[in-house]
Structure 1
Amino acid sequence: MENLMIGPKGLIKKQEFVRIIIQSMHALGYRKSAVCLEAESGILCKSVDFESLESHILNANWDDCIGALNKLKGLSDETRASALFIVLKQFLLECLSRGEDALALEVLRKQVAGLWMGKEKVHNLAVGLLFLKELGSNKIDNGIIQEFRKRMIIDLENVLPPPITLPERRLEHLVEMAVSAQVDNCTYHTSDAITLYEDHHCGRDHFPSETVQILTNHKNEVWFVQFSNNGKYLASSSCDCTAIIWKVLETGKVTQKHTLKSHQNPVSFVAWSPDDTMLLTCGNMEVLKLWDVETGICKHTYGNDGFIVTSCAWFPDSKRLVCGSSDPEKGIYMWDSEGNEIKAWKGVRMPKVSDIAVTPDGQHLISIFSDKEIHILNLQTNAERVISEQHSITSLSVSGDNKFFIVNLNSQEIHMWDVAGKWVKPRKYAGHMQQKYVIRSCFGGLNSRFIASGSEDSQVYVWNQLSSYPIEILSGHLMTVNCVSWNPRRPQMLASASDDQTVRIWGPNCF
């Protein structure tokens, strides 16, 4: 039985397979069925070695327990020491509960100290035992002692390796790994409808690869487009000095809600508040304005006519916002939604800010300084790290999971960087043409799986993060595509803005 292999490829040991099934049945609460399977198969969930250890512990046969641990084969010195430390700690506690202080002290000095667990750990154990003694540990009744022993058995299960013990919920872990691998290998993954009854696969026919609607309400080049966080709205901004708020109907059709007309110059950037009740708009030659989404009324204008904002971002509380200026003396400002200044980073030594973003968790402020430097500021610790690119950066976008950000470069590449972890080599996505001053890319799909970008060649390029080569090239626009946005609640909906004065909505060919 031990060496009998099962499965189409003969990779699975039957005994191991049945054993983890029995463990899973216990974990799910099907104890009677688990016991029945053990009896029918002759395979025990717990190994003979661990059954023996458990029996010694419950019956307080400490010498036998220690002897059994010392005889176990295949244990590293560190693992054996950790297991013995757990056993001796329980033994010391029970010695104190019986008033055998001298024996406890002898075991602590000779056996525990000899395990090389580190002076600090042994010292903490001694202090803890002394504290229990002062509290009157000799009053611990037998019922509590038995509970301590059961907890100790669980601690041993977590220390001892297979096949002596099984990792907790092993079957669930294996199934999740298998499903995760299928998702990772799903090039067009846009559906979270995962079932164990069949292999997971998302086809191209459910991927946004066809134009399903063309929005023609702008009267000049469309420079920016972004879906709201709840996916129910879309905002676009244009060289015609307006921004438009669109509503996404349940059917997927997009209709105009408001035209925002207060700007005197082209509007190049918009940003939705996290609660989607407010919208920020700004431009390279314009001030920053805050709009009420429901009414379309301008609530605040930040700064004055001389305050030119390049980009802006919200904090997750929808009460604070930050904006950057290409004028070094203006720098970066933090405001509240009522129009009050909270903080400013400015001065003659402050470099110009070409783009800015806040991670969705509000922990990091990412700024593009002097075209080639990326500054990542931890807003809790004030720690900052700097990444330098060799080519000018045209735009910045952060993933919804707070882990990564991408920058567009005028070298016709997109680089993806880690936000808060170790320094990493950037992953490069190439293939599109980018010569215009600003072309913006975005993360999209489930778990920010895809990267989409506009291009100078009038096409939209889409990459799966795992590949540096595009999986889709979407054609339809007649001029440069300046910006793209993925609907965060509809993974099969993508929007793009172009110099051809249109916004295109992309969906699957079965949309």
Structure 2
Amino acid sequence: MQSNGCPQHNGTSGEPASTSQQNGACLTVPNGQHNDNPSQTKPMSQTDQDIVRLIAQHLRGLGLDQTAEQLIKESGCMLEHPAAARLRSHVMDGEWVKAESDLEDLKSLIESSHGLIKMKFMILEQKYLELLEDGREMEALHCLRHELTPMKYNTERVHELSSYMMCCNAEDLRKTANWTGKGVDSRSLLIERLQSFLPPTVMLPPRRLLTLLNQAVELQKDKCPYHNTKIDNNLDAVSLLIDHVCSREQFPSTTIQILTDHCDEVWFCRFSPDGTKLATGSKDGSLIIWEIDMVTYELKHRRSFENHAYGVSFIAWSPDSTHIVACGPDDCSDLWMWNIETGTLRFKMSQSQEDSLTTAAWHADGKKFVTGGIRGQFYQCEITLLMILDGNIMDSWEGVRVQSMAFQVDGKYVLAADTHHRIRGYNFDELTDFNIIQEDQPIMSFTLNEPGRLALLNVATQ
């Protein structure tokens, strides 16, 4: 019996399997067993065989070993190739010599030309670490010198393994080697790594049924026309009995509040990163901060900032939601930074009357930001920590006509949409730039998702 509750040989004898058994497929008489109801059994398609194997694997994962065995017996399907089943059993039991022998039985089925060497190295590596953890230094040294080193494979890793001999105790070893230690977790991880060298017909990928179910739920979410629910990656958060769908009623479509504090067109609005405030900018020259009631989600006027001569057409919140950069329309050369908490103007920047500063983006550290516009200005500014606070232009990029911009999450690059219908990346430290996206029509604005991997574009003709 394996440590995971599976029979050690998956119902097979110890001899290597014949060619007809090497793909883990369903057999009429599997491994000397017979079907109790042969007259009631009809030939199964490949899809049905795969489904049976997936169900059996999942049942074993739940600890329902007898149920899984009955399914295998009645269907005539082998869950895995017999040698693969033995390999799994011997690895989970820590029987390393037998595990190496199993690799020889699987040699003809290993996909990679160097796969056998890599798999053997992984097994010996686990053996060596477990010997060290158990305090059996002499045996570990023998494994290192007479088993790992003669393989002449991954010498750098062998040298690293030899350094673990200096660890003073098991805890130090686990920390230094970034290893979970002897037991089910590390051995299961080893099995997963070994499986990657074998075809799925020989050894099933781990938790394959759950992987497929997760993919199905993701597809349903993508096709949901009114999707407005954050589905947890955990399948426990959804029902598998019906397809996921959000109703139209779940999608925000009802007006719950009308705000009338502005006296002219509202040009821009943006929620704060912490989700507790909303900022709105208007043609009337005012910037209003609204407090959000997190129970009723109604807005309450918290603070107004006036005297933006050309109006407020763009707003950028600082990462900590305490400051705002406000920009005007195309003919505005000024930029304002407001402290939301105190209501004070930190600074007003006007580099040149010929400038057009219409968009901005904050660095993740909150200590600098970039700004620019369609007249060719593109500045990176630093916020000083002096008592008299102002913004200093650190760097500039000449001749870039910017429509919209955003900092990448790592802060190394600024992404900017320009008047050439493209988004380019700019590195101010190295003064390098590169093309990322090219559109046929003007990109008016764009926004990045939280990880910074996806961009949502607002294209002029769409």
Q: Does the Cα contact within 8 Å between 1:86 and 1:152 map onto a contact in 2? A: no
SS in 2 for 1:366: strand
Q: Does the Cα contact within 8 Å between 2:368 and 2:380 map onto a contact in 1? A: no
Check if 1:224 corresponds to 2:268.
Answer: yes
Taking a change above 3 Å as real, the CA distance of residues 88 and 270 of structure 1, as seen in their structure-2 partners, is closer
SS in 2 for 1:226: strand
Letter in 2 for 1:320: K
Letter in 1 for 2:334: V
Q: CA RMSD in A?
A: 4.5
Identify which range, 311-320 or 53-62, moves more after superposition: 53-62
Taking a change above 3 Å as real, the CA distance of residues 268 and 179 of structure 1, as seen in their structure-2 partners, is same
For residue 320 of structure 1, report the CA deviation from its aligned partner.
Answer: 2.5
Taking a change above 3 Å as real, the CA distance of residues 191 and 6 of structure 1, as seen in their structure-2 partners, is farther
Check if 1:257 corresponds to 2:302.
Answer: yes
Q: Which residue of 1 aligns with 2:311?
A: 266
Letter in 1 for 2:448: V
Question: Matches of residues 39-58 of structure 1 in structure 2 within 5 Å?
Answer: 48-53=82-87
Taking a change above 3 Å as real, the CA distance of residues 408 and 6 of structure 1, as seen in their structure-2 partners, is farther
Whichever structure has more strand as a proportion of its residues is 1
Q: Which residue of 1 aligns with 2:104?
A: 70
Letter in 1 for 2:298: K
CA offsets per residue over residues 308-356 of structure 1, 9 Å max, x none? Answer: 422112122333322224454x531312275444553337x43343432
For residue 238 of structure 1, report the CA deviation from its aligned partner.
Answer: 1.7
Letter in 1 for 2:118: S
Q: Does the Cα contact within 8 Å between 2:326 and 2:335 map onto a contact in 1? A: yes
Q: Does the Cα contact within 8 Å between 1:312 and 1:323 map onto a contact in 2? A: yes
Q: Which residue of 2 aligns with 1:83?
A: 119
Check if 1:239 corresponds to 2:283.
Answer: yes
The aligned length equals 383
411, 432, 444: which one aligns with 1:394: 444
Taking a change above 3 Å as real, the CA distance of residues 341 and 100 of structure 1, as seen in their structure-2 partners, is closer
158, 173, 176: which one aligns with 2:193: 158
Letter in 1 for 2:365: D
Identity rate, percent: 24
| Distance in 1 between residues matched to 2:56 and 2:257, nearest whole Å | 55
Taking a change above 3 Å as real, the CA distance of residues 97 and 310 of structure 1, as seen in their structure-2 partners, is same
Question: Matches of residues 76-155 of structure 1 in structure 2 within 5 Å?
Answer: 76=111, 77-87=113-123, 97=138, 112=151, 121=154, 123-124=155-156, 127=159, 147=182, 155=190
SS in 2 for 1:215: coil
For residue 190 of structure 1, report the CA deviation from its aligned partner.
Answer: 0.1
Q: Does the Cα contact within 8 Å between 1:354 and 1:371 map onto a contact in 2? A: no
What 5-or-longer segments of structure 1 have no aligned partner?
26-32, 136-145, 413-429, 431-511
- TM-score for both structures, normalised by structure 1: 0.60
Taking a change above 3 Å as real, the CA distance of residues 242 and 68 of structure 1, as seen in their structure-2 partners, is closer
SS in 2 for 1:235: strand
Letter in 2 for 1:384: D
Q: Which residue of 1 aligns with 2:238?
A: 195
SS in 1 for 2:109: coil
Check if 1:345 corresponds to 2:356.
Answer: no
For residue 370 of structure 1, report the CA deviation from its aligned partner.
Answer: 4.6
Check if 1:300 corresponds to 2:375.
Answer: no
For residue 201 of structure 1, report the CA deviation from its aligned partner.
Answer: 0.9
| Distance in 1 between residues matched to 2:42 and 2:328, nearest whole Å | 67
Taking a change above 3 Å as real, the CA distance of residues 91 and 337 of structure 1, as seen in their structure-2 partners, is closer
Q: Does the Cα contact within 8 Å between 1:267 and 1:286 map onto a contact in 2? A: no
362, 366, 376: which one aligns with 2:425: 376
Q: Which residue of 2 aligns with 1:334?
A: 381
CA offsets per residue over residues 485-506 of structure 1, 9 Å max, x none? Answer: xxxxxxxxxxxxxxxxxxxxxx
Q: Does the Cα contact within 8 Å between 1:5 and 1:14 map onto a contact in 2? A: no
SS in 2 for 1:266: coil
SS in 2 for 1:155: helix
Q: Does the Cα contact within 8 Å between 2:84 and 2:102 map onto a contact in 1? A: no
Question: Matches of residues 352-431 of structure 1 in structure 2 within 5 Å?
Answer: 352-370=401-419, 372-378=421-427, 383-387=432-436, 388-410=438-460, 412=461, 430=462
| Distance in 1 between residues matched to 2:249 and 2:416, nearest whole Å | 38
Check if 1:290 corresponds to 2:337.
Answer: yes
Letter in 2 for 1:68: D
For residue 296 of structure 1, report the CA deviation from its aligned partner.
Answer: 3.5
| Distance in 2 between residues matched to 1:107 and 1:294, nearest whole Å | 63
Q: Which residue of 1 aligns with 2:10?
A: none
Q: Which residue of 2 aligns with 1:205?
A: 249
CA offsets per residue over residues 82-103 of structure 1, 9 Å max, x none? Answer: 3234456678999x94699799
Whichever structure has more helix as a proportion of its residues is 2
| Distance in 2 between residues matched to 1:6 and 1:291, nearest whole Å | 74
| Distance in 2 between residues matched to 1:12 and 1:381, nearest whole Å | 57
For residue 157 of structure 1, report the CA deviation from its aligned partner.
Answer: 4.5
SS in 2 for 1:49: helix
Taking a change above 3 Å as real, the CA distance of residues 5 and 189 of structure 1, as seen in their structure-2 partners, is farther
For residue 202 of structure 1, report the CA deviation from its aligned partner.
Answer: 0.4
Taking a change above 3 Å as real, the CA distance of residues 263 and 305 of structure 1, as seen in their structure-2 partners, is farther
Q: Does the Cα contact within 8 Å between 2:347 and 2:390 map onto a contact in 1? A: no
| Distance in 2 between residues matched to 1:247 and 1:102, nearest whole Å | 66
Q: Does the Cα contact within 8 Å between 1:235 and 1:246 map onto a contact in 2? A: yes
Check if 1:19 corresponds to 2:56.
Answer: yes
| Distance in 2 between residues matched to 1:99 and 1:318, nearest whole Å | 51
